[in-house]
Structure 1
Amino acid sequence: MTERVVVGGAVFDQGRLLAARRSAPPELAGRWELPGGKAEPGETPAQTLVRELREELGIEVEPLEPLPGQWPLKPGYVLHVWTAALRTGVPRPLEDHDEVRWLAPEAVDEVDWLDEDRPAVAEAVRRLVSGGARHEAAPNVSPRSGRDDSRP
C-alpha cells in the first residue's frame, strides 16, 4: 500500500513556533497542529508546504529543512515535518482552522497538540532553544516595499 505524504510546517518567526487549531474534521476539531497538508502528485515536500500554508493561513514561508523521522497518521497517510521561516503575511485561519497562535518555546505545552505532531513539536522547540534551527535565516523583507514585515 502506497502512503500519501502529509507535510507539516514547523514555522518559525522571532524565536516562536506557529500553531494552528483544527476546526475540521470533527474528530480533530479543537486540537492543535503544525499546519500543512497533503502533497499533490509530483509535488516536492517544500512545494507542498509553501502551497498549503498560502491556502490555509495566507502566509508565505521559506522551507528550511526536514525534521528527522516520519509519523503515521490515519491508514495510508504519513506525516513529514519541515522547518520553515515566515517571510510575509500575518497567519490567519482560512481553511480547516479556527485559531492560530505564535508560541514561545516555554509556552508550547499550553495547547493540546495532536498526538502525531508532538514528537515534531518537541524537535522543533529543541532546535529553537539550541539555536540549531535556521529560523532567522533572513529578515521578513517585503519584496514590494523593501520594509521589514516581521510581526511582534
Structure 2
Amino acid sequence: MNDVPTIDVVAAVVTDGDEILVCRRGAHIGQAGRWEFPGDKVEPGEDPIDALVREVQEELGVGIRVTGHLSTDDTHVGDRIIRLACYRAELEGERPTQSTDHDELRWVGAGELDGFWWAEPDLPAVRILTAG
C-alpha cells in the first residue's frame, strides 16, 4: 500500500516565439532559489487545465492558452509525492513582468534550460524540452 500523500500540481511551459518562460522560486516559499515552470496545486474537483489557467493568472497576472500536454511525472519530495502535469501554453497578451511566487522571470531558449538549478518535479519536462 502507498501511504505517501500525492499532491496534484500543474505547470505551464509558456512559449513566446522561440523562448520559454522560467521562474525562480522566491525566498518566501519552499525550495527557494530553484527554477520552475509557473503553476501550482490543483484544487479538489478542479479541471487541471482550468487550474493552470487560474494559477498563471494569479501568479503572473497574464492569461495563457493551453496548447497541449507535455508530461506527467511523480517525484518524491520530502514525505510526499508531487504529481506534476506540464502543459504547453502560449501567452494571451504581453509578457509578465512580476510574480507573486517568484523573484525572477526569464525568457530563454530550450538549449539554455540545462543551465538552471531546477526544482526536482520540473526536471522530467526539462529533459523532454532539451532533447529537442
State the one-letter code of the partner of 1:20: C
Q: Deviations over 1:53-84 (max 9, x none)?
A: 11111111001111233222530532111111
SS at 1:117 equivalent: helix
Q: CA 1:60 to 1:26, structure 2 compared with 1: closer, same or farther past 3 Å?
A: closer
8 Å Cα contact 2:73-2:124 kept in structure 1: no
Q: CA 1:124 to 1:108, structure 2 compared with 1: closer, same or farther past 3 Å?
A: same
Q: Indicate yes or no: 2:20 matched with 1:21.
A: no
Q: Indicate yes or no: 2:35 matched with 1:6.
A: no
Q: Deviations over 1:93-140 (max 9, x none)?
A: 3311001000112222232111221110222344xx4xxxxxxxxxxx
Q: Indicate yes or no: 2:82 matched with 1:77.
A: yes
TM-score under structure 1 length normalisation: 0.74
8 Å Cα contact 2:29-2:101 kept in structure 1: no
Q: State the match for 2:43 in structure 1.
A: 40
Q: Higher strand fraction: Structure 1 or Structure 2? A: 2
Query: How many matched pairs?
Result: 127
Alignment of 1:1-152 (within 5 A): 3-25=6-28, 27-74=30-77, 75-126=80-131, 129=132
Unmatched segments (≥5 aa) in structure 2: none
Percent identical among aligned pairs is: 36
Larger radius of gyration: 1
* C-alpha distance in structure 2 between counterparts of 1:76 and 1:70, whole Å: 10
Q: CA 1:79 to 1:105, structure 2 compared with 1: closer, same or farther past 3 Å?
A: same
> RMSD value over aligned CA atoms?
1.9
State the one-letter code of the partner of 2:19: R
